[in-house]
Structure 1
Amino acid sequence: MPAASPQSARRTVRITIVLLFTAWLVDYADRLVINLILPSLGAEFDLSRGQQGLIVSVFFLAYALCQIPGGLLTDRYGAQRITLWALLAWSVFTALTGFAWSFAVLLVMRFAFGAAEGIFPPASLKVLVERTTPEERMGANGLIMSSNALAGVLVPIVVAPLVAAFGWRSAFFSTAALGVFVLVAIRMWLPAPLPRTEPERTTAGRRAGGVLRMGVIWRFSAMMFGYSMIVWGLNTWVPSYVGEEYGVPLASVGALVAIPALAAAGAIVIGGRLSDRFGGQHRKVIVPSMTVTAAALLLMSLSTSLTGFVVFGTLASVAASLCYMPILAVPLGGLAAEDVGVGSAVIILGGQVAGMAVPPVIGVLADAFSFRVAFASLMLGAAIATVMALLTPQDAASFRTASGASDLPVPAKEHS
């Protein structure tokens, strides 16, 4: 296949970034809506904090279970096709959640929604890999994944007034409609993949099951677990905490939550740029950033004022968000292109296990002790991410050696 012209390649990258950014924005908005309406669900269905946390975690249970199957489906049937099916399915189950009439139905709908969204991340990453060069990949992915933090800004600002005016069910109907819009946009405008310039693996036996047996990739998954402990512990319970502890009304909670989310969006982009600049070397970012995160979480949990809580919470969010792209950089550079679906699924799985476990645990700790104890416990996530950053290869070539894939040709850039 002839190489694409520089202008055509740049256009492909730009359009891909815009479409995937929008898809991830809707994806994250759909899952964040539940955090804002937990108090409403608790009141309507008479739920404890532990039960409210279970509504969040059941999504992550299904999401986690579907990561690796999603990667396998992506590698077998194509990234674009699986992306479209994921968008359609999760939009349907988001809309159906708006019709829930009991706690049990909520659990079923959130599980189905999580399964539908669970096949999306590996497909999305492979869509990006097929349409970018290795040198620009992390920067592009940083821009795309900043949509997650931006969703954290927009959802509270937009959804809180919507829920106040029309009730919690309206939030699900609105985000489902957005999902359908993005589905049509990707179907119509996603460019074709760029011609392959990266080495292909010739030993097919190392695909799928071979990737799952790579001990090194599970260490990156554990690193993502530590990072996600912090993210989902804060995202799930901060809205409830500031409402209960400081009497902040729901509409104002949206504005407060938007502050750290907006700062985190910028940090994710910066983390992607740093990954490209360092050529991996994630410990250079993760170790200092997670040290700051742990200190900020401790100060946040000890703060007795709303201002202090928001300031230290914002610092924790920014420092942690710098680490997201560096966690992915080395594996995505070291995996063969045909293994990116499964490999990325393994890493993302660690984050979803955290999303499944942390919300109910934080809820139980808050019920048994206090929110201060619960938030302080998130320092464990910073410790896990730091340790795993020290125990993993720091560049793509070292990753291939550690994974037993050193027989792959090394791109010319790595020889220089």
Structure 2
Amino acid sequence: MSAPSPQSARRTVRITIVLLFTAWLVDYADRLVINLVLPSLGAEFDLSRGQQGLIVSAFFLAYALCQIPGGMLTDRYGAQRVMIWALLAWSVFTALTGFAWSFAVLLVMRFAFGAAEGVFPPAALKVLVERTTPEERMGANGLIMSSNAVAGVLTPLLVAPLIAVFGWRSAFFSTAALGVFALITVRMWLPAPLPRTEPETRTAGRRTGGVLRLGVIWRFSAMMFGYSAIVWGLNTWVPTYVSEVHGVPLASAGALVAIPALAAAGAIIVGGRISDRLGGQHRKVIVPSMTVAAAALLLMAFSTSLTGFVVFGTLASVAVSLCYMPILAVPLGGLAAEDVGVGSAVIVFGGQVAGMAAPPVIGALADAFSFKVAFASLVLGAAIATVMALLTPQDAASFRTATGVSDLPTPVKDHS
């Protein structure tokens, strides 16, 4: 296959970024909706904060369990195909959640929704890897994953008024429609992969079992766990906190949540650019950023004013969001192409375990003690991420050494 022209390659990268941004935006909006409707669900079904947290955790349990199978499916059947089926399935279950009539049904629907979304991240990451060069990958991924923070801005601003007028069920119907839109755009316009320009690589024990036994992959997964524990602890409970403790109406609470989310969007993009410039070296970003995040979380938790809570919460969100791309940079640069699906799934798996654990734990701590204690406990996430940053390879070359990856010359076929 002849190499594409630079203009064609740039066009492929740009279209891929736009389409993946759209798909991730809908993905994240779909899962954020539940946080906005928790007060309504609690009132309608007479649920404690712990039970409300379990509704969120049901999603993350399935989401976490399906990460590695999703990576296996991606490596076997192709990234684009798996991503399209994930979009279709999660849109169906999002719509069905709007018909829930009991706590048990909500748990089942959120579990099914989580399973459908769980196969998406490894497929999306492999779609990106297939359509970018290593030198631009983290910058492109930073732009794409800023969609999560953008969804954090738009979802409360658009969905909270919708809930106030039409009720909580309307939120799920509307986001399901967005999922169908994302599916159609990806199906119609996702460009073909670029020809591979990096050296062919081989991982020791390259089959799935070999990748899963690599301890270094699990250390990156633990790093993602620490990051995500903070993100989902805040995303789940901040709307409830500002509404119940400070008496802010739901629509206004959504606007307040949008402030740190908007700042986080910029931080994710910056983190991707820094990762590309450093060629990895995540320790240089994660250690200072998580130190700032820990201090800001404590100041936020014990702030007596709403203004202080928002200011310190925004600072914590920015510091944490700077770490997202650096966590992924070295593994995506060092994994063999054949192992990107499973390897990235293991790393994302750690984040989903945190998403499963943090909401009910924070809710239970708020019930048993106070929101101050609950939010202060998120400092543990910063500590875990910092320790793992110190215990992992700092560039793609050392990652390959740790995982047994060797660069191989691309074989030349004998046409005689």
Paired with 2:64 and 2:336, the residues of 1 have a C-alpha distance of 23
Deviations 1:36-67 (A, max 9, x none): 11000000000000000000011000000000
Q: Which amino acid aligns with 1:259?
A: I
Paired with 2:4 and 2:273, the residues of 1 have a C-alpha distance of 24
Paired with 2:328 and 2:208, the residues of 1 have a C-alpha distance of 18
1:77 aligned residue: 77
2:9 aligned residue: 9
Q: Helix, strand or coil: the match of 2:100? A: coil
1:37 aligned residue: 37
Q: Which amino acid aligns with 2:223?
A: M
Q: Which amino acid aligns with 2:4?
A: A
Query: Displacement of 1:207 after TM fit?
Result: 2.7
Instruction: Structure 2 unaligned segments of length 5 or more: list them.
Output: 411-416
Equivalent residues in 2 for 1:34-183, closer than 5 Å: 34-183=34-183
Residues 1:342 and 2:342 aligned together: yes
| Contact in 2 for aligned 1:24/1:147 (Cα 8 Å) | yes
Paired with 1:226 and 1:203, the residues of 2 have a C-alpha distance of 27
Q: Helix, strand or coil: the match of 1:298? A: helix
| Contact in 1 for aligned 2:203/2:336 (Cα 8 Å) | no
| Contact in 2 for aligned 1:397/1:410 (Cα 8 Å) | no
Q: Helix, strand or coil: the match of 2:394? A: coil
Change (3 A) 1:363 1:78: same
Equivalent residues in 2 for 1:342-361, closer than 5 Å: 342-361=342-361
Residues 1:276 and 2:276 aligned together: yes
Query: Displacement of 1:83 after TM fit?
Result: 0.3
| Contact in 1 for aligned 2:3/2:195 (Cα 8 Å) | yes
| Contact in 2 for aligned 1:199/1:336 (Cα 8 Å) | no
Equivalent residues in 2 for 1:371-390, closer than 5 Å: 371-390=371-390
Query: Displacement of 1:409 after TM fit?
Result: 4.1
2:293 aligned residue: 293
Instruction: Select between 197-206 and 229-238 the one with higher mean Cα deviation.
Output: 197-206
Paired with 2:283 and 2:263, the residues of 1 have a C-alpha distance of 22
Change (3 A) 1:204 1:218: closer
Equivalent residues in 2 for 1:363-402, closer than 5 Å: 363-402=363-402
Residues 1:308 and 2:308 aligned together: yes
| Contact in 2 for aligned 1:214/1:403 (Cα 8 Å) | yes
1:408 aligned residue: 407
Deviations 1:306-355 (A, max 9, x none): 00000000000000000000000000000011110000000000000000
Paired with 1:208 and 1:280, the residues of 2 have a C-alpha distance of 25
Q: Helix, strand or coil: the match of 1:408? A: strand
Paired with 2:237 and 2:304, the residues of 1 have a C-alpha distance of 17
Instruction: Structure 1 unaligned segments of length 5 or more: list them.
Output: 412-416
Percent identity, aligned pairs only, is 88
Q: Helix, strand or coil: the match of 1:16? A: helix
Paired with 1:294 and 1:363, the residues of 2 have a C-alpha distance of 20
| Contact in 1 for aligned 2:33/2:159 (Cα 8 Å) | yes
| Contact in 2 for aligned 1:198/1:337 (Cα 8 Å) | no
Q: How many residues align?
A: 410
Q: Which amino acid aligns with 1:337?
A: A
Q: Which amino acid aligns with 1:191?
A: P
Q: Which amino acid aligns with 1:220?
A: F
Q: Which amino acid aligns with 1:164?
A: A
2:414 aligned residue: none
Paired with 1:214 and 1:111, the residues of 2 have a C-alpha distance of 29
Paired with 1:163 and 1:335, the residues of 2 have a C-alpha distance of 44
Equivalent residues in 2 for 1:249-268, closer than 5 Å: 249-268=249-268
Equivalent residues in 2 for 1:150-229, closer than 5 Å: 150-201=150-201, 205-229=205-229
Query: Displacement of 1:205 after TM fit?
Result: 4.2
Q: Which amino acid aligns with 1:401?
A: T
Q: Helix, strand or coil: the match of 1:3? A: coil
Deviations 1:360-411 (A, max 9, x none): 0000000000000000000000000000000000000000101122x22499
1:323 aligned residue: 323
Query: Displacement of 1:199 after TM fit?
Result: 2.4
Query: Displacement of 1:201 after TM fit?
Result: 3.5
Displacement over 4 Å in runs of 4+: 202-205
Query: Displacement of 1:202 after TM fit?
Result: 5.1
1:414 aligned residue: none
Q: Which amino acid aligns with 1:408?
A: D
Change (3 A) 1:218 1:202: closer
Length-normalised TM-score, structure 1? 0.97
